Every structure is written in structure tokens, then in C-alpha cells.
């Protein structure tokens, strides 16, 4: 029996937004000490992006082809990334508050765009009321059992003294919840239910879920959220292969970083500056060729139920990684080819904000990566900084996924994997497409056995690629030419696929 997943995700093209850096609206009042938009980002400064800024840019996003948003945390917090939650039941005032979220969801839904939120349930912050009460009241606090206190006194700021409480990765600003406490569990479950029930959000991306080890926590989380909306999408931030999380009792999908690694290692190859990833979980190196890429891809496809595979969260970069263009040392072609794979492989593709215009990341390839390097503000008022050619490529590639149902739900078949050339097909419902990528530095010509899909005399036309070539099937075979560092998509021109 197949695992049940939200059907809408199979048709989704996600766009991840870091709210403080995407768009700033004049409709949201701001304090005076906001860093001017466009300055180099820092770990602490706010640049003032907000949810109304997203509302005002929805037409841009739908024109790009996006129909689902993943928002980094939006709840009240004392950090620009908002993973330090102060109030789980209040949208941060700097983002426009609760009303801005209502406006965003209403307009997004009216345009066929879904919205999922970032859920940070492993840890809170020093400013979270219950923890702050412990800091003020000591061992007389009624909230003592909400956290894991090991000794007294607590030292939340003075690093020369022991913290005396558990925190995420020993970061004192992130005290870890005691999720074995029934009161804590009920509180967190009520948060998850509230935003779906009251604000009609479409799901959750769950932060560091593997760090919550309380028995049955995520099983209860799924039951409770799905009872409110069975179509809510639950995706976990787990960086490795983890089929045990996707058996139908916890998450619908994972952030598919295993696929990210394979795509980058194949397409960026030796360009990847390994120092940028020191201390990071992501390891898209050493360089791999098409055969190894195909092996890894098939392994991932075999690892999960087909329904799960179709909603896996397929990304190539995020707020936690260097931007792909940085990992490719500025090579735009790597970004293009990676996007083509995202749009044609099984799973739900996700674009990190600004990748479509070549937004800057780090250009210092000799230093370790800093999170701020991936969080530059979107240059709305500096159109000259946009890579317009890249933006057009994104629009066309995304439209391809929307146009052909087989790219969203069709079965995958590997057709060729040698050297730098990888070819596969997607098909179903009488539709069959051939997708070919050449990651090498010279053009290549290959012969494919396609008699299983097309009858002799069938003509396949290039519906995506650098040229408008047509190919004829003879003797069950097709000879395909792919220029260096390009990708092509072929569709039958004169008869449906077998």
C-alpha cells in the first residue's frame, strides 16, 4: 500500500524566502535603526524585509512560475533569521504582524500559491516567556520542567561560567525544550494546529527534527496536523538518507540534500571550493561523472515509496548553504543545468530566493562560508545587477514542468550515463519526454535505444535547448547531439509515446 502524501505538492514549484532579505514594504512601519537595504548583510542587523513586501511581489513570483512558498521563520524573535522564537503565537511586528500574514495567505491562495511555514520546535530562545521566567524566578519558576536545567545558577550570557541548561549545539541563546514534558508537547502541538486552522497555512518545514528524540513526538505531530488539514505538507530538515522518517507516520518528505550533493558534484565538478563547506553537512565533492550520478540518483529513487519520491523537497542551495553560484565559482551554466534537473526529475523543486537573477553569494573562495554570504537582500531597485538571461532561462525551464504532466508525475527511466553525459526519460499517460544533459566541456553525440517508447518514423522535437533540432527514430534508435555544457528536452512531434 502506497504512502499517502499531499497531491498538490506533486505540481508544486517552491520558492524559499528569507523574509528579512526578500522585499521591504512601505506599508509596514519600522524602527529607525534598520540597516539600509542592499548593504552587506551581518549576522545581527535587520534590513527590514517583511511579509507585505512578499505580497507586493507575488506577481513577480507567479510570472516566474512559482506556485508554492516556503518562508523561513516568521514568529516574533530577537534575530534577523528568527530561529530564536519569543512568541509562537505572534507574527513578528517587523514583518507586519498577524495581519500581514493573513493578507499574504489570502492573496497567495487567490493566485493558486501555497504557503508553508518554518517550525522551530526543538528549541526556543532566552526571550521565550517560560524560559525568561526561569531566569527571573530561579527554581521557584512554575515552568522549570519545560527545559532541561542541570544546575544553578543559570548563565545565559556569561560564557566564562557554565550555562547549566541544555541548548541546541551549546548555543546559549537557544535553550532546548523538554519534549518529554506533556505540557511542552501539548503547547507545541497547539502551535502546529493553530497556524493551519486559524491562518490556513499549507504545511510545515520542520527544523532539526532529529534532535527531538521523545518517543512518539513526530507521530503525534503528524496526527494532529493532518486532523486539521489532511493535505498539509510536512517536510523535515534531515540532511541524509532517512527512509524511516517517510513511512507514512511522520513526514511527507525530507529536504533532499542527498540529491543536492549528487547534482552539484556532477555539474559543478572540480569548481567546488571545499573550504566553503568546512564544518558543513553538505559534501558535494569530489567530482563525479554521469555513471556515478546515475547510480546515486537511482539509489535515492529506490530508497523511498514512489508517492514519497514525487513530493521530496528537491533543492540545490538554501539559507544554510553557500549559494550554488558560489559553489560553482560564478559559473552560471552550472546553475542553469541544476535547475533543468530540478524541473525534470521526480520531486518538488525549490528555488532559493534570488538564484533566478544570479544574486550574489560569496566571491571569496578561499575562506570558510558564513551564513550571511547566502542572505544578501534582493536587489529590487538595482535591475542592472540582475542576470536577465538567467531569469529568462528559469522562466522557460519552470514553464516546461508546468506544461508537461510527465515531468511532475511520470515514471523515471535512465537511458544513458557515460562520461559527462546523462540522459533519462519521464513518461506516463501517453506522454514520454527525453531529457539529456552534457556537463562536459565538449559536444557529444550518443545513440539511444528508444524503441520501447517510440515507433519507427516517430519524430522528436527539441522543446527546450540551445537549438531547435528534430530527431527521427529509426530501427528503434535515436541519435542525439548535445552541445557542451547544455541540456535538452525532446518531445514527440507527430505521434504520442507508446
Q: Which 8-state DSSP code applies to residue 376?
A: P
Residue 1, pLDDT score: 57
Residue 83 in contact with residue 207, Cβ under 8 Å? yes
Q: Which residue shows C-alpha cell 542576470?
A: 387
Quote the CA–CA distance of 58 and 73 in Å, as a whole number: 19
Question: What are φ and ψ of residue 253, in 5° steps?
Answer: -160, 170
Quote the CA–CA distance of 427 and 454 in Å, as a whole number: 11
Greatest alpha-carbon pair distance for the chain in Å reads 83
- Does 220 participate in catalysis according to the annotation? no
Question: What are φ and ψ of residue 248, in 5° steps?
Answer: 100, 0
Q: Which residue shows C-alpha cell 512601519?
A: 29
Quote the CA–CA distance of 106 and 89 in Å, as a whole number: 19
- Joined together, the cell numbers standing for residue 458 give 516517430
Residue 498, pLDDT score: 35
Q: Which residue shows C-alpha cell 540529491?
A: 259
Q: Which residue shows C-alpha cell 537511482?
A: 298
Considering 20, 92, 207, 373, which one is annotated as catalytic? Answer: 207
Residue 268, pLDDT score: 97
Considering 20, 237, 261, 415, which one is annotated as catalytic? Answer: 237
Under CATH, which number does the domain 410-492 receive?
2.60.40.1180
How far lies 399's CA from each of 30, 358, 393, in Å? 37, 19, 10
Degrees (nearest 5) of the Cα angle 76, 79, 84? Answer: 65
The domain 7-122+179-403 is placed in CATH, from the list 3.40.50.1100, 3.40.50.300, 3.20.20.80, 3.30.830.10, at: 3.20.20.80
410-492 shares the fold of 7-122+179-403: no
- Does 207 participate in catalysis according to the annotation? yes
CB atoms within 10 A of CB 491: 18
Q: Which residues contact 139 (CB under 8 A, 6 or more apart)?
A: 152
Residue 243 in contact with residue 260, Cβ under 8 Å? no
Residue 363, pLDDT score: 86
- Joined together, the cell numbers standing for residue 420 give 559527462
Quote the CA–CA distance of 361 and 50 in Å, as a whole number: 21
Residue 307 in contact with residue 329, Cβ under 8 Å? no
The domain segmentation of the chain, as residue ranges, is 7-122+179-403, 410-492
- The verdict on whether omega for the bond into residue 286 sits within 30 degrees of 0, i.e. cis, is yes
Q: Which residue shows C-alpha cell 558534484?
A: 265
Question: What are φ and ψ of residue 100, in 5° steps?
Answer: -65, -40
How far lies 125's CA from each of 80, 143, 300, 357, in Å? 13, 14, 36, 35
pTM above 0.75, yes or no: yes
Question: What are φ and ψ of residue 59, in 5° steps?
Answer: -65, -40
In order along its 498 residues, the chain shows pLDDT tens digits of 579 999 999 999 999 999 999 999 999 999 999 999 999 999 999 999 999 999 999 999 999 999 999 999 999 999 999 999 999 999 999 999 999 999 999 999 999 999 999 999 999 999 999 999 999 999 999 999 999 999 999 999 999 999 999 999 999 999 999 999 999 999 999 999 999 999 999 999 999 999 999 999 999 999 999 999 999 999 999 999 999 999 999 999 999 999 999 999 999 999 999 999 999 999 999 999 999 999 999 999 999 999 999 999 999 999 999 999 999 999 999 999 999 999 999 999 999 999 999 998 988 898 899 999 999 999 999 999 999 999 999 999 999 999 999 999 999 999 999 999 999 999 987 899 999 999 999 999 999 999 999 999 999 999 999 989 999 999 999 999 999 999 999 999 864 443
Minimal CA–CA distance to 243: which of 186, 306, 192, 197?
306
CB atoms within 10 A of CB 212: 20
Q: What's the distance, Cα to Cα, between the start and end of the chain in Å?
A: 27
Amino acid at each position: 500500500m502506497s504512502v499517502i502524501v499531499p497531491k498538490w505538492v506533486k505540481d508544486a514549484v517552491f520558492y524559499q524566502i528569507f523574509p528579512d532579505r526578500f522585499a521591504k514594504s512601505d506599508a509596514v512601519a519600522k524602527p529607525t535603526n534598520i540597516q539600509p537595504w542592499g548593504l552587506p548583510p551581518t549576522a545581527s542587523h535587520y534590513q527590514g524585509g517583511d511579509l507585505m513586501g512578499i505580497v507586493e511581489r507575488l506577481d513577480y513570483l507567479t510570472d516566474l512560475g512559482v506556485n508554492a512558498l516556503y518562508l523561513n521563520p516568521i514568529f516574533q524573535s530577537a534575530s534577523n533569521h528568527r530561529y530564536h522564537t519569543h512568541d509562537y503565537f505572534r507574527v513578528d511586528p517587523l514583518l507586519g504582524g498577524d495581519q500581514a500574514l493573513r493578507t499574504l495567505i489570502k492573496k497567495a491562495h487567490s493566485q493558486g500559491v501555497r504557503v508553508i511555514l518554518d517550525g522551530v520546535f526543538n528549541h526556543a530562545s532566552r526571550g521565550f516567556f517560560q524560559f525568561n521566567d526561569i531566569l527571573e524566578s530561579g527554581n521557584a519558576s512554575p515552568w522549570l520542567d519545560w527545559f532541561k536545567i542541570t544546575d544553578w545558577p543559570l548563565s545565559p550570557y556569561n560564557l566564562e561560567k557554565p550555562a547549566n541548561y541544555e541548548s541546541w549545539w551549546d548555543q546559549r541563546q537557544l535553550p532546548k525544550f523538554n519534549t518529554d514534558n506533556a505540557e511542552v508537547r501539548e503547547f507545541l502541538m497547539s502551535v502546529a494546529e493553530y497556524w493551519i486552522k486559524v491562518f490556513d497555512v499549507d504545511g510545515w518545514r520542520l527544523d532539526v527534527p532529529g534532535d527531538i528524540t521523545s518517543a512518539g513526538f513526530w507521530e503525534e505531530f503528524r496526527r494532529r496536523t493532518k486532523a486539521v488539514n489532511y493535505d498539509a505538507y510536512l517536510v523535515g530538515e534531515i540532511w541524509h538518507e532517512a527512509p524511516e522518517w517517510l513511512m507514512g507516520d511522520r513526514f511527507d518528505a525530507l529536504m533532499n540534500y542527498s540529491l543536492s550533493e549528487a547534482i552539484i558534484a556532477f555539474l559543478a565538478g572540480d569548481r567546488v571550493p571545499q573550504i566553503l563547506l568546512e564544518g558543513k553537512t553538505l559534501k558535494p565533492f569530489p567530482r563525479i561523472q554521469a555513471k556515478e550520478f546515475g547510480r546515486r540518483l537511482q539509489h535515492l529513487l529506490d530508497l523511498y515509496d514512489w508517492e514519497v519520491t514525487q513530493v521530496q523537497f528537491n533543492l540545490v542551495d538554501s539559507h544554510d548553504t553557500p549559494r550554488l553560484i558560489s559553489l560553482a565559482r560564478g559559473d552560471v551554466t552550472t546553475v542553469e543545468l541544476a535547475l533543468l534537473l530540478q524541473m525534470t526529475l521526480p520531486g518538488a523543486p525549490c528555488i532559493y530566493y534570488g538564484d533566478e537573477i544570479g544574486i550574489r553569494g560569496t566571491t571569496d573562495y578561499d575562506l570558510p562560508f558564513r551564513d550571511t554570504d547566502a542572505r544578501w537582500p534582493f536587489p529590487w531597485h538595482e535591475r542592472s545587477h540582475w542576470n536577465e538571461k538567467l531569469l529568462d532561462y528559469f522562466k522557460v525551464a519552470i514553464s516546461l514542468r508546468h506544461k508537461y504532466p510527465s515531468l511532475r508525475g511520470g515514471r523515471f527511466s535512465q537511458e544513458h550515463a557515460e562520461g559527462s553525459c546523462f540522459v533519462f526519460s519521464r513518461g506516463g499517460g501517453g506522454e514520454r519526454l527525453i531529457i539529456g544533459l552534457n556537463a562536459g566541456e565538449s559536444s557529444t553525440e550518443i545513440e539511444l535505444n528508444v524503441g520501447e517508447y517510440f515507433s519507427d518514423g516517430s519524430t522528436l522535437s527539441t522543446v527546450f535547448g540551445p537549438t531547435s533540432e528534430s530527431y527521427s527514430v529509426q530501427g528503434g534508435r535515436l541519435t542525439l547531439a548535445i552541445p557542451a555544457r547544455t541540456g535538452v528536452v525532446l518531445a514527440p512531434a507527430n505521434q504520442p509515446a507508446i
